[in-house]
């Protein structure tokens, strides 16, 4: 199944290239480049070429290439899943789950995490250079879908010479990719763990995304999407978008527990529009730190991809048809207080998988942390992921060492 | 209890004054003006003077002045509760509930609805003219609270010579005012109906409001709040704020039922950032129509007033203390699918009222329409309001005619 892919080459980029734009030259990342002979065929009917995918790997690929785990990142995540982020200098976004001795054990598995196409950390996206013009794509970049992201990941696997993944794991938008992997490439995945996600974006979720996009586009510094060319940056609009989205990642209970009505560095209201309340100060920080590391147009593209996501629509509106007689092992995980992707959405996935005759286990984790629980210290999540992968590894003939 | 109020005078404003600014000269409204001898003493420690309150009345005040019902409007409402709005030309926002033969029957009750202080439909607020400078107040207007709104309403009642209200009714921010009426002026209200509200704004609600404010303030046309003086208008920022808030007024189920993932005037995605989905188109319309009738700074002030609202904090953090031995009859109403002011908040009010020994009835209405249910065609709501007021009227010695 692995095709010869002579045009794709891997180049390591390191910190000493900074401060080059991470969009084209991602720091601390590997980059797979796909030339004119290897276009990415998009759902929009466009062939994107050339393009590149930035990625990271952790652990060692075994001799039979049977221990690869693909991790799919969420809307604002990237490939720096288990190592320090080159921009923020913070730990990898899933270091609690992935690493030596962790549930996704890099002593045992070869972990791959790629920046999605449309992203802004080195995979081709609106902030990348359009080789035809020598300028950033901006809105000339084609609109992409979750399936396009997965197609690009499949091409990366070809490039790496990996036929089949042992597992695909991801939460939120990452979970959508996981489901799409199972639907589009059932023979190329042994097991999948879609977490805190859905097979289609709800009207409420589309609505929240649309508000975020309007916030970005309302900022005059967005310049019709040409801000990189014109030396501008819609920081304020993107910050507002992030603030609004961030509320949806937390539960009402978590916000109450963390902040309640506590004042920030004061005992009485100031009767002003300062950030009197801790929760206001926290949100403002979320907004301002986000714009340091994320591209506004990428935010538009990735939210749009999520909105378009609807697996059933691609299968005669019958979700079970997407997974009919699937050989894949599923482990569906949801969180009780997640109101962005309610646990009912995960139940719907499980019902469809049952109807399709697929092998599925389902864990609904009780927590008040909301959607973001998948990124937080959730011992039950860790135990479930470890247990499911252990059993799958056994079934897959993987022993404990990485070299087998 | 009614004080002589020689400085307050009432002037009727009519359509022929248009297109004057409604902020100072509201169309189709009455205006009570309060001079230097009648300042509004604000929670911020400032005496606002002069100031004015725009209001509407419906029905006739009876001879004993015992049939007055005060209706308190929500964040983006105004005094045009039961008659055509002079700007939008739409029906009054609560015409389903208030009018001849309606649950709040204007053949029987004298209905008063006043624009809140801080508003933009004729009561003093940030878009009003500061008489000291001859220019719109902008951010020089003092920050106001729910209690300040209620104080101004009490002064309006003095002006109208009304000692005691038969009832105070309102939903959302209007419900907060209703609760504040019961807490601050228990002798001046016979009965109250707080609907879809809370005794304090939650962290999540503060967070949503803060995002809305940031959206307004991020718009360069806001000009640090001086847009009216500088001939600008932060339309886009205010529209984004409204779009985000509007999502919180509806339930996930209502959005799904109304829009689902239906496309707007097309059968396939356009692979663009157009409003492909009906829900996007709907939200954009909500945003753009809102800015035609609302002032951006008023939006900041009124959201802030809601954020500051916390009745218990004013009573040693014991909610029951706010209503101790209250003679007021309470009818607390909530909606099961309201996630902005969850029904649990209303239960907390009821528990506090029980602890305070107050007379309370509670109705939790089952609906999937979300917070906005209080403004919609909800037969159960109408029946409950009618029944509660009928019983209260009997207890208050009100007969069916308006003249008694």
pLDDT tens-digit map of A101-124:
999 999 999 999 999 999 999 999
**Cβ of B210 and A284 within 8 Å?**
yes
Q: What pLDDT, on the 0 to 100 scale, is given for residue A248? A: 97
With vertex at residue A78, the alpha carbon angle to CA A72 and CA A83, rounded to the nearest 5 degrees, is 100
Separation between Cα atoms, residue A66 and residue A1, nearest integer Å: 14
- Helix or strand (DSSP H, E) at B325: none
In chain A the first and final C-alpha atoms are separated, in Å, by 21
Q: What pLDDT, on the 0 to 100 scale, is given for residue A267? A: 85
Q: Across the interface, which of B44, B213, B236 has its CB nearest the CB of A218?
A: B236
pLDDT digits (tens, 9 = 90+) for A354-401: 999 999 999 999 999 999 999 999 999 999 999 999 999 999 999 765
Nearest residue of A to residue B303, measured between CA atoms: A273
**Cβ of A202 and B280 within 8 Å?**
no
Pinpoint the residues of chain A covered by CATH 3.40.50.1820.
Answer: 9-201+310-395
**Average pLDDT for A164-179:** 98
Separation between Cα atoms, residue B210 and residue A257, nearest integer Å: 18
- Helix or strand (DSSP H, E) at A5: none
> How does DSSP classify residue B384?
H
Q: What pLDDT, on the 0 to 100 scale, is given for residue A235? A: 97
Pick the CATH number of B9-201+310-395 from 3.30.70.1450, 3.20.20.140, 3.30.230.10, 3.40.50.1820: 3.40.50.1820
Q: What pLDDT, on the 0 to 100 scale, is given for residue A16? A: 34
Separation between Cα atoms, residue A304 and residue B272, nearest integer Å: 8
DSSP A328-345: -EEEEEEETT-SSS-HHH
- Helix or strand (DSSP H, E) at B305: helix B296-308
DSSP A90-141: PPPTTTTTEETTSSEETTT-EEEEEPPTT-SSSSSSTTSEETTTTEE-GGGS
Query: What CA–CA distances, in Å, run from B359 to B150, B166, B182, B183, B331?
Result: 22, 15, 12, 14, 9
Question: Which residues in chain A have Cβ-Cβ distances shorter than 8 Å to B260?
Answer: 203
Instruction: Give residue B401's pLDDT band: very low, low, confident or very high (50, 70, 90).
Output: low
Contact by Cβ (8 Å): B328, B191: yes
User: Within 10 A of A232 (CB to CB), how many other CB atoms are there?
Assistant: 15
A44-48, A352-356, A400-404, B390-394: range with lowest mean pLDDT: A400-404
**Average pLDDT for B14-27:** 63
A49-58, B116-125, B259-268: range with lowest mean pLDDT: B259-268
**Average pLDDT for B36-55:** 97
3-class SS of residue B170:
strand
**Average pLDDT for B337-354:** 97
Nearest residue of B to residue A341, measured between CA atoms: B252
**Cβ of A261 and B44 within 8 Å?**
no
Q: What pLDDT, on the 0 to 100 scale, is given for residue A400? A: 63
**Average pLDDT for B206-234:** 97
In chain B, what percentage of residues exceed pLDDT 90? 91
pLDDT of A243 above 90: yes
Q: Is the peptide bond before B296 cis (omega within 30 degrees of 0)?
A: no
pLDDT of A89 above 70: yes
Question: CB under 8 Å to B297, separation ≥6 — which residues?
Answer: B125, B126, B127, B138, B139, B141, B225, B227
Pinpoint the residues of chain A covered by CATH 1.10.1740.110.
Answer: 205-303
**Cβ of A218 and B239 within 8 Å?**
yes
Per the annotation, the verdict on A338 as an active-site residue is yes
- What amino acid positions of B are annotated as catalytic residues? 172, 338, 371
Separation between Cα atoms, residue B189 and residue B164, nearest integer Å: 6
**Cβ of A240 and B256 within 8 Å?**
no
Q: Is the peptide bond before B330 cis (omega within 30 degrees of 0)?
A: no
For the domain spanning A205-303, the CATH number is: 1.10.1740.110
Separation between Cα atoms, residue B225 and residue B297, nearest integer Å: 7
Q: How many residues appear in chain A?
A: 404
Instruction: Give residue A266's pLDDT band: very low, low, confident or very high (50, 70, 90).
Output: confident
Nearest-CA neighbor of B24 among B261, B249, B228, B328?
A: B228
Nearest residue of B to residue A215, measured between CA atoms: B240
Interface of B with A in 6-45 (CB under 8 A): 43-45
DSSP A243-303: HHHHHHHS-HHHHHHHTTT-BSS-SS--SSSS--BHHHHHHHHHHHHHTTT--HHHHHHHH
Question: CB under 8 Å to B342, separation ≥6 — which residues?
Answer: A252, B334
Instruction: Give residue B160's pLDDT band: very low, low, confident or very high (50, 70, 90).
Output: very high
pLDDT of A132 above 60: yes
Q: How far is CA B229 from the centre of its chain?
A: 27
Instruction: Give residue A21's pLDDT band: very low, low, confident or very high (50, 70, 90).
Output: confident
Interface of B with A in 335-364 (CB under 8 A): 339, 342
A167-181, B38-52, B256-270: range with lowest mean pLDDT: B256-270
Separation between Cα atoms, residue B219 and residue B30, nearest integer Å: 34
Q: What pLDDT, on the 0 to 100 scale, is given for residue A2? A: 34
By CB atoms closer than 10 A (0-12, 13-18, 19+), residue A401 is exposed
Question: Which residues in chain A have Cβ-Cβ distances shorter than 8 Å to B213?
Answer: 273
B296 part of contact set with chain A, CB < 8 Å: no
Query: Among A124, A172, A198, A334, which one carries the catalytic annotation?
Result: A172
**Average pLDDT for A28-53:** 97
**Phi/psi at B273 (5° precision):** -105, 20
pLDDT of B11 above 60: no
Separation between Cα atoms, residue A152 and residue A163, nearest integer Å: 14
**Average pLDDT for A319-327:** 96
Contact by Cβ (8 Å): A11, A25: no
ipTM score here? Answer: 0.92
**Cβ of B142 and A200 within 8 Å?**
no
């Amino acid at each position: 199944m692995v095709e010869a892919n002579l045009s794709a080459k891997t180049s390591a980029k390191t910190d000493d290239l900074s401060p080059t734009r991470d969009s084209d030259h991602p720091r601390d990342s590997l980059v797979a480049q796909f030339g004119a002979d290897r276009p990415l065929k998009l759902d929009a009917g466009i062939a994107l070429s050339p393009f590149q995918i930035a990625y990271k790997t952790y652990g060692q690929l075994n001799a039979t290439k049977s221990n690869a785990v693909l991790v799919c990142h969420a809307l604002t995540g990237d490939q720096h899943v288990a190592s320090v982020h080159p921009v923020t200098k913070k730990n990898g976004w899933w270091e609690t789950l992935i690493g030596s001795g962790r549930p996704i054990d890099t002593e045992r598995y070869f972990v791959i995490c790629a920046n999605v196409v449309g992203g802004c950390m080195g995979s081709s996206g609106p902030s990348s250079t359009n080789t035809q013009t020598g300028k950033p794509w901006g809105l000339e970049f084609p609109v992409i879908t979750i399936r396009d992201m997965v197609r690009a990941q499949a091409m990366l696997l070809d490039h790496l010479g990996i036929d089949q993944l042992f597992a695909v794991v991801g939460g939120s938008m990452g979970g959508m990719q996981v489901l799409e992997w199972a639907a589009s490439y059932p023979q190329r995945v042994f097991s999948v763990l879609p977490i805190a996600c859905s097979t289609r974006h709800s009207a409420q979720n589309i609505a929240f995304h649309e508000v975020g996009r309007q916030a970005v586009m309302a900022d005059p510094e967005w310049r019709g999407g040409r801000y990189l060319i014109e030396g501008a940056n819609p920081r304020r609009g993107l910050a507002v978008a992030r603030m609004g989205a961030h509320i949806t990642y937390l539960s009402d209970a978590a916000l109450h527990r963390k902040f309640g009505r506590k004042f920030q560095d004061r005992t009485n209201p100031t009767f002003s529009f300062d950030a009197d309340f801790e929760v206001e100060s926290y949100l403002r920080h979320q907004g301002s730190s986000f714009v340091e590391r994320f591209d506004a147009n990428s935010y538009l593209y990735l939210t749009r991809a999520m909105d378009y996501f609807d697996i059933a629509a691609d299968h005669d509106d019958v979700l079970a048809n997407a997974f009919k007689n699937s050989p894949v092992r599923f482990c569906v995980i949801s969180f009780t207080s997640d109101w962005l992707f309610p646990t009912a959405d995960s139940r719907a996935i499980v019902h469809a998988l049952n109807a399709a005759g697929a092998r599925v286990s389902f864990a609904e984790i009780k927590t008040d942390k909301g959607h973001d629980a998948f990124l937080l210290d959730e011992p039950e999540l860790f135990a479930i992921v470890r247990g499911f992968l252990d059993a799958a590894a056994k079934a897959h003939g993987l022993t404990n060492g990485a070299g087998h």
